[in-house]
A = this chain, B = another copy of it.
Amino acid sequence: MKTDSNKNIIQLFKHNNDSATVTKVADDFDLVRGGMLSELNIAYETWGSLNKDKSNVVVIFTGLSASSHVASSSVDQTPGWWEAVVGHDKAINTKDHYVICINTLGSCFGSTSPVSINKKTNEPYRLTFPELTVEDMANASSLLLEKIGIDSIKVLIGPSLGGMKALAFSILHSTVVKNLILISSATQALPYAIALRSLQREVIRKDPLWNNGFYSYKKPPLNGVRIARKIGMTSYRSASEWTQRFGRKKSDDNKLNQNTFGIENTSFEFEIESYLEHQAVKFQDIFDANCYLYLSRAMDWFDVAKHGESTLDAISKTKIDKALVLGVTTDVLFPSQQQKEIAELLSLSNTIVEYQELDCIQGHDSFLVDTNRFSKEIENFIKSL
């Protein structure tokens, strides 16, 4: 990680994304709900080259748990989280475009967050981190873009939480965004999604090791984070995918003495259980518990309607030329009904909108899995601009 402030990031977790650039974008950053960060650092990565008139910028906002490493690069050849979609001659073509992926304010992958050192106390912020909203994330990204001299985005892309940030950014910094791609996003959090996130936060907070946020970074509340991740995963995929993929198959590591539920048992009988465990263990080792709480709560708080007299009034503050809105039929967390609503609202706000409801089987996470289908839609849209 190239950084002028890397001492400000707790390094005890495997949190950091070594290929990201971390830049100080503000000294005093005021947050929307009050509170202030005395130093704001944002981590980001870029691919391709900025053209002369700076008209080829594609900005990617990430979901809850992703770093800025959206694709491999000469600096870091490990595959990124959207490797199939971003790159040379791929849907988001880095041959033609200057692609910037920005790590969320509040995320533990390089940007200022609850694991960062508060300069005033020389201790990590933990729960003294100010209340964080999606709007703060958008504003921090705006400061980064200013800092690196970008005042116009050809295409702003956001999946999931990234889409919420992209909507907030398009309202708050409307002159910057020309075109928009929103994937499985929402104008506001609905109660089923709030319930699942609230439960995840409760599980973390009830882990005795969490210790009111003052856990040891060497012995963090892994049970809480792991179980939270599993709860999340029940809404990231779809029941039908799991029926097709796992059915009632038994796990390879089914060494469980079936008569005991003892806590020392870490093997699972069914393959679906091992799958969840495996994915969640990977996550517990890289994601900070307090960061997770802040990002999760910010999603619950998000409601575009706060920016106007109604949701439509708020959306009408955007100045998007063209938008592509993609939803997935099997998404239960950000249901396609919400995508259709976004498309209709943008359309009523003088944006040319293309709306596609894809019948992918992988639920909310389809954009990460069914990348062929998403690539096709994204590529066609960008080529049409």
Residues from chain B with Cβ under 8 Å of A189 in the complex: 248
Measured CB to CB, the nearest residue on chain B to A223 is: B206
Question: Which residue of B131, B245, B262, B276 is within 8 Å of A259 (Cβ)?
Answer: B131
Residues from chain B with Cβ under 8 Å of A239 in the complex: 190-192, 332, 335
Q: Is A243 an interface residue (CB 8 A)?
A: yes
Q: Is A260 an interface residue (CB 8 A)?
A: yes
How far is the CB of A177 from the nearest CB of chain B, in Å? Answer: 26
Measured CB to CB, the nearest residue on chain B to A296 is: B261
B263 touches A205 (CB 8 A): yes
A293 touches B199 (CB 8 A): no
How far is the CB of A89 from the nearest CB of chain B, in Å? Answer: 37
Residues of A103-137 at the interface with B, using a CB-CB cut-off of 8 Å, are 127, 130-131
Residues from chain B with Cβ under 8 Å of A230 in the complex: 195, 199, 202
A290 to B208 Cα, complex, angstroms: 21
Q: Is A212 an interface residue (CB 8 A)?
A: yes
Q: Is A97 an interface residue (CB 8 A)?
A: no
B213 touches A261 (CB 8 A): yes
Residues from chain B with Cβ under 8 Å of A203 in the complex: 203, 227
Measured CB to CB, the nearest residue on chain B to A300 is: B270
Given A130-B259, A270-B300, verify A242-B190 contact (CB < 8 Å).
yes
A194 touches B270 (CB 8 A): yes
Residues of A222-247 at the interface with B, using a CB-CB cut-off of 8 Å, are 223, 227, 230-231, 233-234, 238-239, 242-243, 245-247
Residues of A319-345 at the interface with B, using a CB-CB cut-off of 8 Å, are 332, 335
A268 touches B198 (CB 8 A): yes
Q: Is A165 an interface residue (CB 8 A)?
A: no
Measured CB to CB, the nearest residue on chain B to A270 is: B194
Q: Is A258 an interface residue (CB 8 A)?
A: yes
B205 touches A273 (CB 8 A): no
B227 touches A273 (CB 8 A): no
Q: Is A30 an interface residue (CB 8 A)?
A: no
Measured CB to CB, the nearest residue on chain B to A269 is: B300
Q: How many residues of A are counted as interface, with CB atoms below 8 angstroms from the partner's CB atoms?
A: 59
Q: Is A267 an interface residue (CB 8 A)?
A: no
Q: Is A201 an interface residue (CB 8 A)?
A: yes
Residues from chain B with Cβ under 8 Å of A358 in the complex: none
Given A131-B258, A199-B227, A243-B192, verify A206-B332 contact (CB < 8 Å).
no
Residues from chain B with Cβ under 8 Å of A192 in the complex: 234, 238-239, 242-243, 272
A199 touches B248 (CB 8 A): no
How far is the CB of A123 from the nearest CB of chain B, in Å? Answer: 17
Residues from chain B with Cβ under 8 Å of A272 in the complex: 191-192, 194-195, 198
Residues from chain B with Cβ under 8 Å of A190 in the complex: 239, 242-243, 247-248
How far is the CB of A245 from the nearest CB of chain B, in Å? Answer: 8
Q: Is A188 an interface residue (CB 8 A)?
A: yes
Residues from chain B with Cβ under 8 Å of A293 in the complex: 261
Question: Which residue of B223, B247, B276, B303 is within 8 Å of A195 (Cβ)?
Answer: B276
How far is the CB of A200 from the nearest CB of chain B, in Å? Answer: 10
A277 to B88 Cα, complex, angstroms: 50
Binary flags per residue of A252-294, CB closer than 8 Å to B gives 1, else 0: 0000001111110000111111001000000000000010010
How far is the CB of A345 from the nearest CB of chain B, in Å? Answer: 17
A276 to B191 Cα, complex, angstroms: 11
A27 to B246 Cα, complex, angstroms: 41
B191 touches A247 (CB 8 A): yes
7 A-B pairs closest in CB distance: A192-B239, A191-B272, A191-B242, A191-B246, A198-B273, A190-B243, A206-B223
User: What are 6 A-B interface contacts by the 8 Å CB criterion?
Assistant: A192-B272, A199-B227, A202-B227, A203-B227, A205-B262, A213-B261
